Structure 1
Amino acid sequence: MTDVERADGSGVDDEVPVACHQEAQIRNVAVEAGAADPESLGRHIAVIFEGANALAASCNDVELFTDARRAAKTLLDVALSAAPGR
């Protein structure tokens, strides 16, 4: 599943905010990568990038995305090293 589906399984829920669709995509990548807890990892990375987006807009500082990328990489490194079989 790459999108947020309707609860009744009848397709993609277009009323779900874009950030939720992005979180679902991140979660799916985390599952494919073998993360120990892809649900949590997806939420954490989504929070990092949503926070960077908000701060960059309010502070007019795009460097925050570089910081967010570094933080997300650290989370990924930790999550994937903790995955079973690694």
Structure 2
Amino acid sequence: MGVCPQCQKNVLDKGKFYGCTGYREGCTFTLPKKWSGKTFTKKNIKDLLLKQETSLIKGFKSKKGTPFNAKLKLVNNKLAFDFPNPK
């Protein structure tokens, strides 16, 4: 899928998540396949690994079930929402 931002090894599809091939050497980097009700595309994961962020993704769901749109980005190698500025 791409290069691990933590240890520079490959990130692969592990079935239920995306994980770094360096986990045996102690790397803990993983990405979920689904987050806040939205399943990620391979392009989303590749963008995260290459550019540290995705384009705007529509259809996330909050804990209360409210739909929202956001970009995803990696902050300290952890997944985070990046909300668009309201106009």
- Name the structure with the higher strand share: 2
Task: Please say which structure displays the higher CA radius of gyration.
Answer: 1
TM-score (norm 1): 0.28
Q: Which has the higher helix share?
A: 1
TM-score by length of structure 2 reads 0.28
Structure number with higher relative contact order (C-alpha < 8 Å, ≥ 6 residues apart): 1
